[in-house]
Amino acid sequence: MRYLLIYWHFCNYGTQSPHATIPEREQMQPPKFVERMQNYTIVEGQSVTLTARAVGTPTPMMSWQKNNRMLTPSKDYK
C-alpha cells in the first residue's frame, strides 16, 4: 500500500511519498494482557501504584480512567 502527500501553497506545490509499514492482517496479533492489575485495599490518602502490561501487533494503546474520566499526568497521577 502506498500513501502520497500532496501539498500546496500559493506560490509552490509538491508531493511526498512517506514510507509507512502496515502489518498485513496475518501478522497482526490481538492485544493480550501479560501483566494484569491486582486488587488493593488502601486507606484514603495512601499512595498506590497500579500497573498493567499488554502486548500485540500493532502495539496496543492503553489509558487509565477513574469514574469514566481519562486520567492525565498530574501531581496526583503519575
State yes or no: pLDDT of 19 exceeds 70. Answer: no
**46 is a domain residue:** yes
**10 is a domain residue:** no
**33 is a domain residue:** yes
**16 is a domain residue:** no
Quick check: 50 and 37 in contact, CB under 8 A? yes
State yes or no: pLDDT of 71 exceeds 80. Answer: yes
Residue-wise pLDDT for 22-41, tens only, equals 666 667 888 888 887 788 89
Task: Assign 32 to helix, strand or coil.
Answer: strand
What is the average pLDDT across 32-58? 86
Q: Which residue range is the domain that position 34 belongs to?
A: 23-73
Per DSSP bridges, beta strands 5-9 and 12-16 are antiparallel
